[in-house]
Amino acid sequence: MERQVERDFCIGRIPVMLRSAACVLQGKSDEELAKMKECTYDPGGYFVIKGVEKVILMQEQLSRNRVIIELDAKNNVSAAITSATHDRKSRCNIFFRQSKVYLKHNSLGEEVPIVIVLKAMGLECDQEIVQVCYTRCDYDIRRQTFSMRPPRPDVNQSPLVLSSSSSVPLSSSARSPPS
């Protein structure tokens, strides 16, 4: 059985975007466009399919159940996650404002300082919060400042586990410190 190779046959047609590099209108002067009965003010960027103009619209959909970390206009780091199940969708943002960290969730009316959220989740004191967020904390006596190193991300070793099924009441009576 001998293999036969055919060349130059049509397997389909691909539309060309007007004014693109593959379009015959690309690089034409106003006079040449007028001779071709084309509008000189037409920017292109669309397709003509069977005589009908078609436009491709961009639709952006953020990844679900993944943390997106980005910089805002003021170079502050923020983290956002859109959590979704088959019947519910929620969005949570953690961001800096005036050197403080806040949490905003679509079920809450306003931003909440992240320390309040962590205390509502059962962390008793500021030292526990620092231990959850940082593996090493050094205090410089001369400068009276802390230098902290963030932990290496390891989900299996994290002392604080959050899940979509956990419910955190954010009220003043949520957790009172032990007396």
Structure token digits, residue 2: 């001998």
Q: pLDDT in tens for each of the 179 residues of the chain?
A: 788 888 888 888 889 999 999 999 999 999 999 999 999 899 999 999 988 999 988 776 667 788 888 887 877 888 888 888 888 888 899 988 887 889 999 888 899 998 888 888 888 888 888 777 765 555 555 555 555 555 455 545 444 444 444 334 333 333 444 44
Q: Dihedral angle at the C-alpha atoms of 43, 47, 53, 58, nearest 10 degrees?
A: -80
Structure token digits, residue 86: 């088959």
- Listing DSSP states for 50-116 in one string gives TTEEE-PPP---PPTTSEEEEE-TTS-EEEEEEEE-SS-EEEEEEEEETTEEEEEETTSSS-EEHHH
Distance CA 29, CA 33 (A): 6
pLDDT tens, residue by residue, 125-148: 888 887 777 655 555 555 555 555
Structure token digits, residue 151: 């932990």
Q: Tell me which residue has tokens 């036969």.
A: 4
